[in-house]
Amino acid sequence: MRFDGRVALVTGGSRGIGRAIVESLAAEGAKVAFVYASNASAAEELVKSIESSGGTVLGIQADVRKKADADRAVDQVVETFGKIDILVNNAGIVRDTLVATMPEEKWRDVIETNLNSVYNFCHAVMRPMMSARYGRIVNMSSVAARMSNQGQAAYAASKGGIESFTKCLAVEVAKRGITVNAVAPGFIVTDMTEAVRSAAEDKILKEIPTKRLGQTSDIANAVLFLADEKTSYITGDVITVDGGLTLGGL
């Protein structure tokens, strides 16, 4: 129970990687709040699941693109649990389209959801974390930030921005006992990747040295490592969890 007494907030927490992170934090003793966009049934099911296992959890509906919603969510966590120790910025979407045919609204939707939300929630937790002189912030990047894939200009730009933001914020808050790191998943088995897996799983596996697709638990384990009190000397870093995909072949 390494997170006993800690309070965590996870954005995009009702499904996929976010859900695995919420479940893992709760299983390790943290009181966990999570933000979801609109799928109330999935959020309710997750709350019931964690509470039935003896965990403490709070679901919050919010639009991560809106600063006011981020402020409200953080205020609700602090009001409910008294503090906030851990923030995991996991919310993200994919709208893959070639730049030449990409409508402006798709570009804005990806940047606002993936990148602007990280600013929104990091800014919102600054006051409580700096006052406590303690905090763990983990932002979700992607190997797409360092790989050139057709149709992923918006997604790659948002994730590259997250990595740069992570490093800059880490320097700004290091003296306050706050660490800021990122996790960059490779190809993970989620609903978001189902279509690609159905079309090209064999080809993808040939590019991964470990010869398996990643599981949501692989990402959750990396997040928990960075969220731990004992990893206080790691900040401004990006941990790649991709089975060796970005090594260029072995």
Active site residues: 155
* DSSP-derived 3-state class of residue 99: helix
- How far apart (Å, rounded) are the C-alpha atoms in residues 204 and 226? 28
Residue with tokens 């790691």: 234
Q: What angle do CA 220, 224, 230 make, to 5 degrees?
A: 165
Distances from the Cα of 94 to the Cα of 8, 20, 113, angstroms: 25, 19, 10
Element (H, E) at 185: strand 178-185
Residue 81 has phi, psi (to 5 degrees) of -110, -5
**Region for residue 42 given its phi and psi (left: phi exceeds 0; alpha: psi -120 to 50; beta: otherwise):** alpha
The CB density around residue 119, as the number of other CB atoms within 10 Å, is: 16
What is the length of the chain? 250
Distance of CA 37 to the CA centre of its chain: 14
- Return d(Cα 159, Cα 113) in angstroms, integer: 11
